[in-house]
Amino acid sequence: MLLLTFLFSIICFTLYRWYKENKRHENISDKYVYITGCDTGFGNLLAKSLDKQGVHVLAACFTDKGQDDLKKNASPKLKTFHLNVTKSESVRKAAEFIKSEVGEKGLWGLVNNAGITMPLGVSDWLSTEDYKSILEVNLIGVIDVTLSVLQLIKKTQGRIVNISSICGRLCISSGGYCISKFGVEAFTDMLRRDMRYFGVNIACIEPGFFKTQMASEAEILKSYSQVWDRAPAEVKDDYGHDFCEKLCASIKGRIDSVLDSDLTKVTWCMEHALFAVYPRTRYSAGWDAKILWLPLSYMPTTISDYVLSKMRKLVPAKSVI
């Protein structure tokens, strides 16, 4: 009897959640959405998807090529413009453009998607500047862009969607990327609690590992080699002078094979966060995130450390353990 009651409760909860999550805002064609990082990947795919649905898409690209390619595959309604999130002047000019476009209607949504993963390397191979270069894009850039248009979003009681990563819940790799995504998680939590008084909804997307330009195996191997080449001699002595070569050999051919090529798993989360009547606070996108990384993030530190160290396999030459 107790088991039947439990199963009935699970079924009722599942049906209730399904009904609640399927309620969407109507007339989205009159809403304006500002998306950063639209050159390639998630941002590019989201911009084209929303454009097809009639949304007023304001797509920020870092390169001229990104703008040109996007305009070729979108309607005249979609607007592109240049944005460098590490330059406050560029962020300010973008905000002025956004304000001129939305007018009195205000801005319904902001998707902070722009981000980088490189330089990538072991912690003590990297310089302080290496860490700063990622933080400036992935964290400070998110904060700067958000604050630049926050008043426009408060006007519509709209949405802010921050693209974090499962690496913002579990530090899977060395370097500045995970650090920056932990910061995005904290900023999102803070902003959500502060903006609830103004009717603004804040969501965080935590994708697993997907096949995008950011996760290119060739670029990852190149970054490891470049960072290793300029590492101090004493650091190379600690690891062994063939450590980087062995590391690259151990991951070559493995990265691309585990990446998910279905980017719509992420853009579905973005769209739901933007237009669902009852959006979630967090979205985990990808089976690796749901089945492996997220559960591992809830484990005791000793367990997660053990699992991740076993995945690494290689040990420094002067290791004491």
Q: Which residue numbers are catalytic?
A: 177
Quote the CA–CA distance of 38 and 61 in Å, as a whole number: 5
Residue 201: which H helix or E strand, with range? strand 201-207
Quote the CA–CA distance of 137 and 69 in Å, as a whole number: 23
Angle between helices 88-102 and 141-156 (to 10 degrees): 20
Sign of the alpha-carbon torsion through 39, 43, 46, 51? negative
Q: Is 223 left (phi over 0), alpha (psi -120 to 50) or beta?
A: alpha
Quote the CA–CA distance of 153 and 159 in Å, as a whole number: 7
SS3 46: helix
- Give the count of alpha carbons within 13 A of 129, CB side only: 2
Quote the CA–CA distance of 225 and 217 in Å, as a whole number: 12
Which residues, in sequence order, are CB contacts of 285 under 8 Å at separation 6+? 205, 206, 207, 208, 210, 265, 266, 268, 269
DSSP state at residue 136: I
**Tokens coding 48:** 């084209």
Q: Which of 219, 216, 247 is nearest to 231 (CA)?
A: 247
Q: Is 58 left (phi over 0), alpha (psi -120 to 50) or beta?
A: beta
Radius of gyration of the chain (CA): 21
